[in-house]
């Protein structure tokens, strides 16, 4: 199985089972209204973990359809609505194997929105290096490489999926973790019974290791003095109280925390209005050990105090 790694970010996203009640217009007199199933569309890069994500939802009781042509998604939802509640949650895997139907996806999504279907798009992302390793390890060609190289197929697929990635409700970067961690993340996202309005992941990282691919917002802490150059603080991390106090007591640190927290409140309100349920805020410094870690912890506490379900991830802490 090529889909075997995932970003270490583990959220607490949960899924509602109480689908909206509507009439199909095809029932006999006196029949009950049909419950529209909840829908998750799983897509993303080949080799990034789509099959693992789909299998996890299947284990959670979702009705999963792999490689369904996008034009048939509304039909699948309609069939689920006629199941008398037996199919309350449907997950559909859409990928480049059905690329001749891919242009129909936007039309199908518009149709679903018009019907009042609660739907989410989960996009599985991964770095080129990780994808190449996965395809080479199983000695399989990329579905779009043709007579070219694996990297040519990956580039073509990224371009094809670019717009869909931008529309995704949840982007999961699977570059650095394994299949078990991906399953744990999907469990955390979809296994529960209640869904808060907005969920945030606050991720510290080191710029020298690259930007997080799945970040919605990125902020740079390198305007603050680096505790690395303080000998007594160097061995510790931003989780240590002495390091955290050193960072927060620097000129501009508390002002930044206050104003950025206010800005996130404004952004969160807009996300809620637009129906966006997930946001990843990436906080960076040079190595992802001191400043970004300390500020991520404080920022996450501010978000949690505002009622945003928040998870903190320190991507590069301990990597040096």
98 annotated binding-site participant? yes
80 annotated binding-site participant? no
* DSSP labels, the chain: -------S----------PPEE--S-SPTTPPPEEPPEEEEEEE-TTSSHHHHHHHHHHTT-EEEES--GGGHHHHHHHHHTTTTS--EEEEE--GGGGGGGGGHHHHHHHHHHTT--EEEEEEE--HHHHHHHHHHHT---TT-TTS-HHHHHHHHHHHHHHHHHH-SEEEE-SSS-HHHHHHHHHHHHSSS---S-EEEEEEEEGGG---TT-SEEEE-TTSPPGGGSTTTTTS-TTSHHHHHHHHTSTTHHHHHHHHHHHHHHHHHHHHHTT--EEEEEEEESSSSSHHHHHHHHHHHHHHHTT-EEEEEESSTT--
46 annotated binding-site participant? yes
168 annotated binding-site participant? no
139 annotated binding-site participant? no
97 annotated binding-site participant? yes
44 annotated binding-site participant? yes
50 annotated binding-site participant? yes
45 annotated binding-site participant? yes
270 annotated binding-site participant? no
Summarize the annotated binding site for GTP as residue ranges. 95-98
Residues annotated within the binding site are 44-51, 95-98
Q: Which residues are annotated as a binding site for ATP?
A: 44-51
């Amino acid at each position: 199985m090529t889909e075997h790694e995932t970003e270490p970010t583990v959220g607490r996203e949960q899924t509602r089972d109480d689908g909206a009640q509507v009439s199909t217009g095809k029932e006999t007199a006196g029949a009950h209204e049909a419950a529209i199933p909840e829908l998750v569309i799983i897509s993303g890069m080949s080799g990034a973990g789509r099959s693992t994500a789909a299998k996890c939802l299947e284990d959670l009781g979702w009705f999963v359809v792999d490689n369904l042509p996008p034009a048939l998604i509304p039909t699948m939802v309609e069939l689920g609505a006629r199941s008398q509640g037996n199919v309350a949650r449907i997950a559909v895997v859409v990928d480049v194997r059905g690329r001749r139907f891919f242009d129909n996806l936007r039309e199908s999504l518009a149709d679903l929105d018009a019907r009042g279907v609660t739907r989410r798009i989960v996009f599985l992302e991964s770095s080129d290096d990780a994808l190449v390793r996965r395809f080479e390890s199983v000695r399989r060609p990329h579905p779009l490489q043709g007579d070219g190289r694996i990297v040519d197929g990956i580039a073509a697929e990224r371009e094809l999926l670019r717009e869909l990635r931008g529309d995704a409700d949840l982007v999961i970067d699977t570059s650095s973790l394994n299949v078990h961690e991906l399953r744990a993340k999907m469990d955390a996202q979809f296994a529960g019974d209640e869904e808060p309005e907005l969920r945030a992941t606050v991720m510290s990282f080191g710029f020298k290791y690259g930007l997080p691919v799945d970040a919605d917002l990125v902020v740079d802490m390198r305007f603050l003095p680096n505790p690395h150059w303080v000998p007594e603080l160097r061995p510790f991390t931003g989780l240590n109280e002495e390091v955290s106090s050193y960072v927060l007591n620097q000129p501009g640190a508390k002002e930044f925390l206050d104003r950025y927290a206010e800005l996130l409140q404004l952004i969160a309100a807009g996300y809620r209005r637009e129906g966006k349920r997930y946001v990843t805020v990436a906080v960076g410094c040079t190595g992802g050990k001191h400043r970004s870690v300390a500020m991520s912890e404080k920022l996450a506490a501010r978000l949690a105090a505002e009622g945003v379900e928040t998870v903190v991830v320190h991507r590069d802490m301990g990597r040096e």
